[in-house]
Amino acid sequence: MPSPEEVRDGQRAAWARLSAGWEKWDSVIMDQLGPVGTAMIERLDVAEDQQHLDIASGTGEPGLSIARLSPRGRVVLTDLSAEMLDVAARRAAAQGIGNVETKVCSADDLPFADASFDSVSVRFGYMFFPDMPKATSEFARVLKPGGRLAASVWVSPEQNPWTSIAMQAIATETELPPPAPGAPTMFRCAAPGYIAALYEEAGLHEIAEWNVPLELVTDSPDQYWAMISEHVSLAVAALQKVDGPARDRIRAHAIANVTPFLSDGKIRVPGLARCIVGTKPDLR
């Protein structure tokens, strides 16, 4: 089992490499993940002067959308990767969003005072944390009484063909070893109730979870493969292990399997996320 420090070091290095792919494919990724951010934000009751903390912000969402909704508020975008947050800062500047700041830190060790935020969001970050219970207790600690936590994770590979098509293609050429217990993987938090149990353990109440469908839309099968192979962490890591001819065969395999998803001149591949919301009790 990797130590928490090993997990953090691995993640820091991986996301430094992935940041260019996320910036390059920004609009496609944001369109795909947008419905999940919207679903999370709807449950956060964002006020005009919201003090909000976005965890594992990556290139900035849903934190930037929340900043736009609270012009007199403040949003802190945090991530383990300085390179991902650099992209977030560039996106904030390009969108004219001034009420945000960035802070490099790990989700399980937050440099913020107790009860300092009205809300916390974590879109597709949980599965990468070395210590998920500790991270959740940190989120509960920095929330004000009555404040809300909203997170999202991926449901099963079967319900996310946008990524499983690529992973199946990769598996035809290279063995994908089962992840070590405790190692970060995309579907690590997939079990229903998994994140809700962490919320409960951290003392949150009014916990609810629900599924949100989404769609990855690309112009062509070629574009599908290009964007997946340049920004999905597992795919990028696996493709580094094979030679050029094997990469070409994987690409051909993925393109053949994604082509049936052609509809209205676009490739539309579905996915399913689970959102989880909870509230810090107000005992006053």
Q: Which residues bind ligand SAM (CB under 6 A)?
A: 8, 11, 15, 33, 56-59, 61, 79-81, 84, 106-107, 123-125, 128-129
Nearer to ligand SAM, 8 or 280 (CB): 8
Nearer to ligand SAM, 63 or 278 (CB): 63
Nearer to ligand SAM, 202 or 257 (CB): 202
Least spacing, CB of residue 251 vs ligand SAM, in Å: 23
Q: Which residue, 64, 126, 122, is CA-closest to 97? A: 64
Nearer to ligand SAM, 80 or 257 (CB): 80
Least spacing, CB of residue 8 vs ligand SAM, in Å: 6
Least spacing, CB of residue 79 vs ligand SAM, in Å: 5
Contacts of 149 (CB under 8 A, 6+ apart): 119, 120, 121, 122, 136, 139, 140, 143, 199, 204, 277, 278, 279, 280
User: Strands 117-123 and 143-154: what pairing?
Assistant: parallel
Phi, psi of 238 (to 5 degrees): -70, -40
Residues present in the chain in total: 284
Nearer to ligand SAM, 70 or 106 (CB): 106
Nearer to ligand SAM, 86 or 255 (CB): 86
Nearest to ligand SAM by Cβ — which residue? 58
Least spacing, CB of residue 114 vs ligand SAM, in Å: 19
The H or E element spanning position 119 is: strand 117-123
Least spacing, CB of residue 130 vs ligand SAM, in Å: 6
Is the distance from CB of 212 to CB of 274 less than 8 angstroms? yes
Least spacing, CB of residue 56 vs ligand SAM, in Å: 3
Tokens 């709807």: give the residue.
42
Q: Which residue, 228, 212, 215, 211, is CA-closest to 270? A: 215
Contacts of 205 (CB under 8 A, 6+ apart): 278, 279, 281
The C-alpha atoms of residue 25 and residue 208 are separated, in whole angstroms, by: 32
Least spacing, CB of residue 273 vs ligand SAM, in Å: 10
Nearer to ligand SAM, 165 or 273 (CB): 273
